[in-house]
């Protein structure tokens, strides 16, 4: 089997406006559908975090204070602060990721312009790893060099394992979805206190509503996967219960170690 020999002429540097080239990726209806389905991450994360965080706050304050107005004020503040924090955090996290990906794309452009032969040989090696012969890999990469946008996309995918589309997706939809999901989740443990002034009744009702809401989120998340929705719902409830139990134990047993009365975290 013959080995691929790098071409003797530049393969990228002579392309006009190379530094302005953007990775061009084939798009399909199936890819767009999958992107929408993947947005379930923000919904599940936001709702679950909103439920657990606010549940711990309102339950703890409800048991400790027993005053409906205090619980509602604390719960409302937790909802507002948490939703804003989650939304801003999602936006800044996404922005930082886009900047890292864009910097990597720019670096790869510079390398492909400064050392086109080395990059050509590198891409040939990637195709050989995929099972193509040296001659086949050389032919494929030679054809790719005639389409700089596709060539750049292939290099980004094979060398870094990333989708260059990340650098272009500046939508605030994920941040809005995260904030809204957190707010919806936070409302679940607050709702009982809107209809009853009895702390014990509201606490029990909040726990029941939280469990049902968490189960529903798991059921919803499983509908786009091959997971059993009942098992997925039970999984999320179980994990949430474990988090709540740890929070309760921490509030009850850690403060006394420092000479402080137990804190009613989660009840």
How many CA atoms, within 13 angstroms, populate the side-chain half-sphere of residue 231? Answer: 4
* pLDDT mean across residues, the chain: 80
| Region for 54 from its dihedrals, namely left if φ exceeds 0, alpha if ψ lies in -120 to 50, beta otherwise | alpha
- Round to whole Å and give the CA distance between 234 and 211: 9
User: What percent of the chain stands above pLDDT 70?
Assistant: 78
Whether residue 91 has pLDDT greater than 70:
yes
- 221 contact partners, CB below 8 Å, separation of at least 6: 40, 43, 44, 227, 232, 236
- Round to whole Å and give the CA distance between 30 and 33: 5
C-alpha angle 235/241/245, rounded to 5°?
A: 150
Q: Once rounded to an integer, what is the mean pLDDT over residues 20-38?
A: 65
Q: How long, in residues, is the chain? A: 267
pLDDT score, position 171:
79
**What is the residue extent of each domain of the chain?**
44-258
More confident residue, 90 or 66: 90
Buried b (16+ CB within 10 A) or exposed e, 23-46: bebeeeeeeeeeeeeeebebbbbb
Q: Once rounded to an integer, what is the mean pLDDT over residues 15-34?
A: 62
Whether residue 62 has pLDDT greater than 80:
no
How many CA atoms, within 13 angstroms, populate the side-chain half-sphere of residue 210? Answer: 29
Q: Is the dihedral of CA 228, 233, 237, 239 positive or negative?
A: positive
Q: What is the pLDDT of residues 214-251, one digit of tens each?
A: 999 888 878 777 788 889 889 989 988 887 777 767 66
- Round to whole Å and give the CA distance between 262 and 58: 16
- Round to whole Å and give the CA distance between 56 and 120: 57
- Round to whole Å and give the CA distance between 39 and 177: 8
- Round to whole Å and give the CA distance between 82 and 80: 6
Whether residue 266 has pLDDT greater than 70:
no
């Amino acid at each position: 089997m013959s080995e691929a020999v790098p071409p003797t002429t530049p393969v990228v540097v002579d392309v006009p406006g190379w530094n302005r080239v953007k990775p061009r990726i084939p798009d399909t209806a199936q890819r767009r559908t999958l992107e929408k389905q993947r947005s379930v991450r923000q919904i599940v994360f936001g709702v679950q975090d909103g439920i657990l965080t606010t549940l711990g706050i309102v339950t703890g304050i409800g048991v400790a204070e027993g005053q409906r107005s205090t619980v509602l004020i604390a719960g409302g503040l937790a909802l507002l602060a948490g939703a804003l924090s989650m939304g801003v955090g999602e936006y800044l996290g996404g922005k930082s990721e886009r900047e890292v990906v864009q910097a990597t794309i720019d670096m790869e452009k510079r390398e492909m312009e400064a050392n086109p032969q080395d990059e050509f040989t590198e891409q040939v090696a990637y195709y050989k790893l995929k099972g193509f012969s040296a001659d086949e890999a050389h032919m494929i990469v030679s054809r790719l060099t005639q389409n700089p946008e596709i060539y750049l996309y292939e290099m980004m995918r094979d060398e870094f394992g990333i989708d260059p589309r990340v650098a272009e997706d500046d939508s605030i939809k994920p941040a809005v979805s995260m904030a809204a999901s957190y707010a919806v989740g936070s409302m679940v443990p607050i709702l009982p206190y809107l209809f009853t002034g009895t702390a014990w009744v509201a606490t029990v009702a909040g726990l029941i509503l939280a469990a049902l809401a968490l189960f529903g989120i798991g059921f919803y998340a499983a509908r786009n996967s091959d997971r059993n929705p009942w098992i997925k719902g039970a999984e999320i409830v179980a994990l949430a219960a474990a988090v709540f139990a740890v929070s309760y134990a921490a509030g009850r047993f850690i403060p006394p170690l420092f000479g402080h009365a137990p804190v009613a975290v989660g009840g």
